[in-house]
Amino acid sequence: MNQLPHLAEIFDRLKRGYHLGPDDEPEFSALQARSDDYAAYFAALGLTLVRHEREFYYFEPDNPENVPDTLPRIAVFSYIVIDHAANQGRPIEEYIFGQNFLMTALPHFALDRYATLLRQVDMHEMSDVKILLNRMEQIGWVKWLGPDEFRFLRPFHRVFSKCIEIVQAANSQGNAAGAANASQNPPTSSSAKE
Residues that bind other proteins (CB under 8 A): 14-17, 47, 58-64, 67-68, 70-72, 74-76, 78-80, 82-83, 85-93, 113, 116-117, 120-121, 139, 158-160, 162-167, 169-170
Q: Kindly tell me which of 116 and 190 has the beta carbon lying closer to other proteins.
A: 116
Between 145 and 170, whose beta carbon lies closer to other proteins?
Answer: 170
| CB 188, min distance to other proteins, A | 29
Q: At what angle do helices 35-44 and 7-14 cross, to 10 degrees?
A: 70
Nearer to other proteins, 89 or 186 (CB): 89
State the minimum distance, in angstroms, from the CB of residue 166 to other proteins.
Answer: 4
Closer to other proteins by CB, 61 or 187: give it: 61
Instruction: CB nearer to other proteins: give 100 or 120.
Output: 120
64/147 with CB nearer other proteins = 64
Q: What are phi and psi of 166, to 5 degrees?
A: -65, -45
Q: How far is the CB of 190 from other proteins (least distance, A)?
A: 27
3-state secondary structure the chain: CCCCCCHHHHHHHHCCCCCECCCCCCHHHHHHHCHHHHHHHHHHCCCCEEECCCCCEEECCCCCCCCCCHHHHHHHHHHHHHHHHHHHCCCHHHHHHCCCEEHHHCHHHCCHHHHHHHHHCCCCCHHHHHHHHHHHHHCCCEEECCCCEEEECHHHHHHHHHHHHHHHHHHHHHHHHHHHHHHHCCCCHHHHHC
Report, in Å, the least distance between residue 55 CB and other proteins: 17
CB of 91 to other proteins, least distance (A): 5
Residue 9: CB minimum distance to other proteins, A: 15
